[in-house]
Structure 1
Amino acid sequence: MFSGSIVALITPFTQDGEVDFVSLKKLVDYHVAAGSDGIVAVGTTGESATLTVEEHVKVVSKTVEFAEGRIPVIAGTGANATHESVTFSRLLNDSGIAGCLSVTPYYNKPTQEGLYQHYKAIAEVSDVPQILYNVPGRTAVDMHPETVARLAEIENIVALKDATGDLDRVKIHRELCGDDFILLSGDDSTGLDFVRLGGQGVISVTNNIAAKEMATMFRLAKEGRYAEAEAINNQLMPLHKNLFVESSPIPVKWAAHQLGLIANGDLRLPLTELSEQARPIVAQAMAESRIS
């Protein structure tokens, strides 16, 4: 259902702070042409925390509209309040999305039982497939494999995006959740190894500016041609690492603007533009990765 190279899409803004739907359409067309396997609209990389509910729903709906059925769109529906995630899931249930991606509640630091009840409540109000998202480095809570396994028993919870970078968890999750449960990496640096160990794909930041290369890499991996895939991965490694030189999505939005994919690299506070000191680092990573 979900596999290959899926982009954690940035949300472009105009210089006056509004959503830039012209650039959004350009981004969707770019990923269709490049062969990306899916789009996550308004996930955490899409600055979901700073969009209003109305903006959030509109960006997802417009992404589906721009996709025109050419590429599946997954909606980011995560929040640190369960009722907010439930609201997003209800509002987007009939929007044409292929699934929902919900990050673990940030700052609250819920218990494992709290995480279970959070995701169970979301799944109960939606008919679309649900993807769990564990990224303890940004949320300060780690969803344990045993909790993932409990949630995998709920019919429409079908996948996990694991951004821990802990490759040992691939085998653990597979053993606990079964062969039908989808495992997706959320860590570009280890994404190819994640698939080599039994994952189905990656939800990627790098894909925002290297969509064709990422799509080719994971297509090769699916065919078992890992030596060729590894060559592309090595080429892209400077991006995998240095697109996080400052808090994501600051660097990748700057890079996307440099490539002409979006009209500007503006973000919403509390995020600010890429610093002067970091710009040469990202520019060098782009050059080393042969992205121009």
Structure 2
Amino acid sequence: MSNFVPKGIIPPIVTPFTLEGKVDYDRLREMVDFLIDNGVHGLFPMGTTGEFYAVSDEEYREILMTVKDQTKGRVPVYGGASHITTRGVIRLLKICEDVGMDAVSVLTPMFVSQTQDELYTYYKTVAESTSLPIIMYNNKPKTNVTIEPTTVARLSEIVNIIGVKDSTGDMTNTAEYIRLTRGNDNFHVLMGRDTLIHAALCYGATGAIASCANVAPRVCADIYDKYMAGDVKGSLEAQYLLAPLRIACGMGTFPAVIKEGLEQQGIHVGKCLDPIAELKTEEKERLHRVLMDMGLVF
């Protein structure tokens, strides 16, 4: 049984790139400090927001090493290990083990439409290949694959599968994850839709992997910290403050809005790798107004 509890606000940290498309490791170190200084409870390199699909294994290893080194044990580091094949995930897990990740997030395979039995076997095989704590990652809007609540409940009985991140945006699905696993103290549910963090905490989630925490880490941390301190109203107000930023993410191809939001705050992380385009001028202006209303720019 794992004693590791995934909790709090965990940003899937962006991967900064230079104009030439190379990983900017110095900027990545600055992002680590910026996020931790603003109260986040963990860091998650190589998630969807980190453009995990765009880097080589060598870059992947160096990104994880950089985040781990700069974090210096201040918060847990969760490595993303996502691939279209089981063997591809296992290869990445070995890198996570080598680097010393505290836990790993494993997305459902992309493009391939698996049955629930195939998903069960996939996660079971992955879990058996490592001693690291594993968080399953359901991002149905991106993959067109979902882990059904009954499948999550079955998988929750595997000792090192300790949680699931739900990015479906379907609160009923999240609630079922929690309901069906609520008797298992070793298993935890994380929200993956930034507009629903407060709601998920009310239902029993232990935190959120929140892409908007890259741009507004203190606001996101307030949702969790205030809720845990018993200030439910303050938590809800922080959620209301965050919501327009997450809704604005629909203006561009993800994660273009996240990177532009950082750029507008003077945190230079570069653009997303091609073929993702920068926001149009009018979209940047709309985003700027959102950030102004949040008190992040002036």
TM-score relative to the length of structure 1: 0.96
Partner of 1:207: 213
Residue 136 (str. 1) matches residue 140 (str. 2):
yes
Residue 238 (str. 1) matches residue 237 (str. 2):
no
CA contact (8 A) 1:145 1:172 kept: yes
Q: In 2, Cα distance between the equivalents of 1:224 and 1:94?
A: 39
Partner of 1:193: 199
Give 1:10 shift: 0.6
Q: In 2, Cα distance between the equivalents of 1:171 and 1:162?
A: 10
Give 1:43 shift: 0.7
Partner of 1:56: 60
Secondary structure of the equivalent of 2:92? Answer: helix
- One of 170, 179, 189 as aligned partner of 1:183: 189
- One of 13, 22, 31 as aligned partner of 1:9: 13
Task: Quote the sequence identity (%).
Answer: 29
Secondary structure of the equivalent of 1:159? Answer: strand
Q: How does 1:88-167 map to 2 (within 5 A)?
A: 88-167=92-171
- One of 280, 289, 292 as aligned partner of 2:294: 289
1:26-78 alpha-carbon deviations (Å, 9 max, x no partner)? 00001111110001101111000111111111101110011011111100001
Partner of 2:45: 41
CA contact (8 A) 2:153 2:177 kept: yes
Partner of 2:222: 216
Partner of 1:225: 231
Give 1:226 shift: 1.1
- One of 255, 264, 270 as aligned partner of 1:258: 264
Where do 4+ consecutive residues of structure 1 move more than 4 Å? none
Partner of 2:84: 80
- The size of the alignment, in residue pairs, is 291
Q: In 2, Cα distance between the equivalents of 1:270 and 1:108?
A: 22
Calculate the aligned-residue CA RMSD, in Å: 1.3
CA contact (8 A) 2:107 2:136 kept: yes
Secondary structure of the equivalent of 2:205? Answer: coil
CA contact (8 A) 2:141 2:168 kept: yes
Q: In 1, Cα distance between the equivalents of 2:250 and 2:201?
A: 22
CA contact (8 A) 2:61 2:99 kept: no
Q: In 2, Cα distance between the equivalents of 1:280 and 1:114?
A: 45
- Runs (5+) with no aligned partner, structure 2: none
CA contact (8 A) 1:34 1:212 kept: yes
Secondary structure of the equivalent of 2:250? Answer: coil
CA contact (8 A) 2:197 2:223 kept: no
Of 20-29 and 245-254, more deviation after overlay is shown by 245-254
Q: In 2, Cα distance between the equivalents of 1:101 and 1:41?
A: 10
Partner of 2:277: 272
Q: In 2, Cα distance between the equivalents of 1:244 and 1:226?
A: 28
Secondary structure of the equivalent of 2:131? Answer: coil
Matched residue type, 2:283: A
Matched residue type, 2:156: A
Give 1:244 shift: 3.0
Give 1:200 shift: 0.8
Q: In 2, Cα distance between the equivalents of 1:119 and 1:258?
A: 39
